[in-house]
A and B are shown apart, each in its own frame.
Chain A
Amino acid sequence: MKIFVRILFCWMLLMTVAQDSFAASYIEVTAAGNRLLKLAVVPPQPMGSAIKTEMANETAGIQSFDLTMSGLVSAERKDAAVLANGLALTPIDFVPWLSAGYDLLIRGEYELRGQELTIEFRLYDVVAKKLLTAKRFLGTEKELRRYAHSFSDEVLRILTGEKGCFTSKILYVSNQSGNKELFLMDWDGFNPQQLTRNRSINLSPDISPDGREIIFTSYKRGNPDLYKRAVSSPVEVPVSSRKGLNITGAWSPDGTRIALALSKDGNTEVYTIARDGSAPNRLTVSNSANVSPAWTPDAKRIVFVSDRYGKPQLFIMDANGGNLQRFGAGGGYTVNPSWSPKGDKLAFARSAGGFQIFVANADGSNETQLTFEGNNERPRWSPDGRFIVFSSKRGGQEAIYVMRADGSGQTKVSRNKGLSQHPVWAPRAQ
């Protein structure tokens, strides 16, 4: 314990030294040319008598995965000997990393006392031989994965100026239990948690901008009605039980209204309702099907799917239903629109040899196909816009995948049995 205190003291010293570097732009460590920065993640070293190598390796694995997926660095776990001088890296300690071609280094320590875990991670600039940031976590081993992800968030903040979203979660539908129920998992697919247990069919969830409330369609009372529940409480409150369909609910960016599709008046049309289901306002008038409304992040416009010209296509209108236009040039069967957090891009799925994920500019220009393998649907953006989550049947059973917004790094993340679909990337915890 004494050692640990000494180490903490050293760390505080280092932190003071490092303050200056936080202010500086990170451009000084940008690799020459366009190559990715190379990051070595050394599993944290044990302090004290309790040694859990597997646990330490797990954190290094998490951070390597997070940061490699970010697309900013090429990260790998590297085992390294304990430093002779305890915690503080002397300039000479950087030499082997430098000669092995690394730009960045994560090191750390942990101490386990009974259930109590203290773990600290530090990011170093190998080239400049200095500490860039450090974070210490106090809690239990249960929280280990969250601590590791949280430091990945911090590394992204240092590298880009914007915190990562590796501690955020993905809401989705799985039939693991035999029925389609809502689940929540870590962004990398760990810790899946079943939310609903109504043994009916539950579909198309959306999560409120504050990350606290979920709306979804359920057949639990027979009709496909829209329900609302808190993430933290199992009570499911009916929000819209109008005759016919109450589907594809989408929270407005300020969380005060919900856009959805209702078939109470004959056709399936897009409406908005208040968050308690009252004050319906019909936005579309057609003799066709209109579903899947998606608000622009500034709440001014809504894009939706309509088959008024034959096959389902994207249309865009003002949030009061005015100024209706077709979105983009059109094309094949097009569904599942989703705005990027900044509103500069729209992701959607289009039939192109199975459904494929596309991204276009906000004005509909520059459509780019991102997936090519299997059937891919329901793209949704991560809160930082760095990633797109989607469902894919490329491996047989439908599962949840994550890719970078440019389509690179497509990786299966869901791990549960049965099919997994309808993913929604939840906001960062507040």
Chain B
Amino acid sequence: MKNGFRGMVVALGVVAMMAAGCAKEEVVKKDEPVVQQQTVKQQEPVKQVEPVQQEVKQEVKQEEAAAVKASVAVALENVYFDFDKSDLRQDARDALSKNAEALLKQVADAKVKIAGHCDERGSDEYNLALGDRRAKSVAKYLETLGVKADRITTISFGKEKPAVDGHDEAAWSKNRRAEFEIIK
């Protein structure tokens, strides 16, 4: 069972990455009319992930089917922020409601790590504090939705790990985010 659980975690990670990619596309479609180039770009990493995912799937097939089911369900969406803000927009609240549901029903035993990120503007050290605030603001909201505090950890990367390169609002809006990682 121990091995089976480990296989599931790997599958969770991969599927979560794919789901995160999809989620990004959705956000782009809503916010920006100029999407086509971006969509193409974002499909590239997904292609790279695919063979890995298939390998994992084969492994997973040998495990319980339940593991696959759980991995599909636990697609936690990134949430995005306004410039220099850590309060949650409506789209972030909607995403967090889905994330909370997944955390409560699909992976009720798992812990989740929330990483707060910022865009490249502003100073490094102040952005570390801002990322910390974003992660904590997400954590608090998940708690109000019923996710127990002891399942949640937070970390801030400030502007050290941008999701997208670029020096315009299109890039910045995708970099001001909180990401989720299921751990153990």
Contacts and interface: CB of A to CB of B under 8 A. Distances in A.
Given A222-B155, A224-B156, A245-B156, A335 B125 contact: yes
Interface stretch (B46-54, B70-78, B129-137, B170-178): B129-137
B129 A261 contact: yes
Interface residues of B, number: 17
Interface in A187-222: 201, 203-204, 219, 222
B156 A307 contact: no
B154 A244 contact: yes
Interface of B: 84, 122-126, 128-130, 132-133, 136, 154-157, 160
Given A201-B160, A263-B132, A291 B126 contact: yes
Given A289-B133, A291-B125, 14 more contacts: A223-B155, A245-B128, A247-B125, A261-B129, A263-B156, A289-B129, A289-B132, A292-B126, A305-B125, A305-B126, A312-B122, A333-B122, A349-B123, A355-B123
A204 B124 contact: yes
A180 B158 CA distance: 14
Given A201-B160, A222-B155, A245 B132 contact: yes
A245 B129 contact: yes
Contacts of B122: 312, 333, 335
Contacts, number: 69
B84 to A, nearest CB: 8
B115 to A, nearest CB: 11
B179 to A, nearest CB: 15
A45 interface: no
B160 A312 contact: no
A48 interface: no
A248 interface: yes
Contacts of A291: 125-126, 128-129
Contacts of B132: 244-245, 263, 268, 289
A247 B133 CA distance: 14
A215 B129 CA distance: 19
Nearest to A290: B129
A66 interface: no
What are the 10 tightest A-B residue pairs by CB atom distance, in nearest-first order?
Answer: A289-B129, A268-B129, A335-B123, A263-B132, A291-B125, A248-B125, A312-B126, A201-B160, A245-B132, A247-B128
Contact of B123 (A222, A267, A268, A336): A336
A330 interface: no
Contacts of B156: 224, 244-245, 263
Nearest to A222: B155
Contacts of A224: 128, 155-156
Interface in A41-84: none
B139 to A, nearest CB: 11
A223 B113 CA distance: 12
Interface in A266-285: 266-268
A282 B156 CA distance: 21
Given A201-B160, A245-B132, A289 B126 contact: yes
A201 to B, nearest CB: 5
A215 B122 CA distance: 23
Interface string A107-146: 0000000000000000000000000000000000000000
